[in-house]
Structure 1
Amino acid sequence: MLHPAQTQKEQVLKLKIAKPSTSGTYMSVFDFCAGRCRHNSESVMSFMFQVHENAYVSEFHHCFSLPSNSSGSTVTPLEARLNGINVVIGRQGESCDSVCKLNGQSCVLNKLLILNQCDIIQKYMSCKGACLASVGADQPAEVADDAPKHLNPGACLYTQTQSMLSCDGSHRHTRRLCPCA
C-alpha cells in the first residue's frame, strides 16, 4: 500500500496536479497518496476482467504501490509497468510474435519500450558483451555467441529509434526479449 512514511514530503508538496479543474499542488503527503491511489492501475481492475475499469481490485479498496522483495528494495517504477507481462527470451532468429504465440500469448507492443533499456535487458539476458545502441526491428535483443565478430557476439542491443520497435522483427543472429500477455 502507499504509505506516507515512505514518501518524501518535500518532493510531494512540489509535485503539480495535472488535471486543470484541480490544478495546483498537493497539500499533504496523505493527499498525494490518495491521489496516487485513485489514478494507479495497480489499484483498479482493467477492462480485461470484464469489470468496469474503475472497480477496485480488492473489496477493501486498498491502494497498491510498488511491490518490494524480502531485502526491502523496491521494484523500479519502470519495472512496475511490466506487471502482468510475461517477459520471455526468444530463440535465435525468432520474432516476439512467434515467441509469445508459442506460449499461447500475444506480444504487447507498447511494453517493448520498457524492455528496450540496457538495465532491463541485462536483468533478463547475460549480455556478455556491451549494451549497444543499434538500429533494427529485432530489438531489444542479445547477439548470439556464434554471430560474426562484426555483429558483436554476446552484446545486448537496444534501439534509440522507438518507432523501430516491432513485435514481428527478427534477425538470424539475435535472441529477442519479448513482452507477452
Structure 2
Amino acid sequence: MDFKLRLVLILMLTSTTFAIRKDISFQETQICRTTVQGRYLITDYTGYVCDALSLDPKSHCCRVKRDQYSCQGCNLVSQCCNSYEYCVSCCLNPERTHVNQALKVKIAKPVTSGTYSSLFDYCAGRCRHNSESVVHENAYLSEFHHCFAPPSNNSVGISDTQIEVRLIGINVMVGKQGESCDSVCKSVGQSCVASKFVFINECGVMQKYMKCKGSCLASIGADQPAEVAEDAPRNLNPGACLYTRRPSMLSCDGSHQHTKRLCPCA
C-alpha cells in the first residue's frame, strides 16, 4: 500500500479517539457558609439546621433538608431565641427579616462603622450576645438571649407591645428625689441595665409609672427619664416628666437634686 495512503488511514482511525466532547462543562459545587459558634449544631446559609456530622463534606451544606427557617425555641414577638443556631435559622426567613432593612443596620454604634454584606452576615451577627441581652456584661436577662431584632437605635416607631416585650425581665422602678438608678436598683438587690433606658425614655412609658402633671418635655441631662419634684423651683417645670433626645447621655449613675428617676433594674 502506498505510504501516503497508509498515513491518511492511520490519521483517520486515531482521530476518533480524540474527538471533542459536546459537553465538557462541570457542575459547580455549591459551598455553604455556616455558623461556627455552637458545639453541637450548625446552621447553613440557606436556613437549615443540622449537627456537624450531617454536613456534606464537599458542599459544607446540611444534607438533611427539613425544617428550613426553623424557629424552635424562639419567642416570635420579642424575636429572641434560646439557641444561637435556631435564632440564625429563624432570622434567615426572608418573610421574617427584610433584606433591605437588615443591610442598612450598622454593625456597631459608631457612625463610621460598616453595614452587613448579606442577610446571613446580619443574622449570624445579631444572634450573638449583645449589650441589650445582658446585665453589666456578665449575666443574661433571660434564657432567650439570642435576638435577631434590629438594634434599639434602629427601631423607629416601635409599638407599645414591642416595648413591653423588650422590657421582659426588667423591673421598672421610680427612685427617690436626687437618687441615681444605681442606688435605686441596688436597694432591691438588682443592677441598673443601661441598655434599656432607650425603651423607658418615652412619654407614654413614663406616664404609666409617674404622674407627669406638668406634661412631658424634652430636656438634656444624664438623670433622665425623670419626673421633676413638685417642690422644685418654678423655672424647672415642677411635676413635669422629662425625656432626652440624646439617649447617649443617659447613665445609671446620673442624678439631680430636683428629679426622681425612672430606672430599669434586673
Q: 1:113 aligns to what? A: 198
1:151 lines up with 2:236 in the alignment: yes
Detail structure 1 runs of 4+ shifted over 2 Å in the superposition: 31-41, 43-54
Q: Does 1:126 align with 2:211?
A: yes
**1:44 aligned residue:** 82
Of 226, 235, 259, which aligns to 1:141?
Answer: 226
SS of equivalent residue, structure 1 residue 132: strand
Distance 1:97 1:50 in 2: 21
Number of residues of Structure 1 aligned to a counterpart in Structure 2: 135
1:10 alignment counterpart: none
Report 1 or 2 for greater relative contact order, CA contacts < 8 Å, sequence distance ≥ 6.
Answer: 1
Question: Secondary structure at the residue paired with 1:76?
Answer: helix
Partners in 2 of 1:164 and 1:137 — Cα distance?
5
C-alpha offsets along residues 119-139 of structure 1, whole Å, 9 cap, x if unaligned?
A: 111111010011000000000
Distance in structure 2 (CA, Å) of the matches to 1:90 and 1:138: 11
Is 1:79 aligned to residue 117 of structure 2? no
* AA at the equivalent of 2:209: Y
Distance 1:96 1:49 in 2: 18
TM-score, scaled to structure 2 = 0.45
Q: SS at 2:218's partner residue?
A: strand
Distance 1:130 1:49, change over 3 A: closer
Indicate the residue corresponding to 1:168 in structure 2.
253
Of all paired residues, the percent bearing the same amino acid is 59
CA RMSD between the two structures = 3.4
TM-score, reference length from structure 1:
0.64
Do residues 97 (structure 1) and 135 (structure 2) align? no
Task: Measure how far apart 1:48 and its partner are.
Answer: 3.6
Q: 1:52 to 1:140 in 2, by over 3 A?
A: closer
| Distance in 1 of aligned mates of 2:256 and 2:228 | 9
The residue identity in structure 1 corresponding to 2:211 is: S
Change (3 A) 1:52 1:178: closer
The gaps in structure 2 that reach 5 residues or longer are 1-44, 48-67, 84-132, 134-138, 147-158
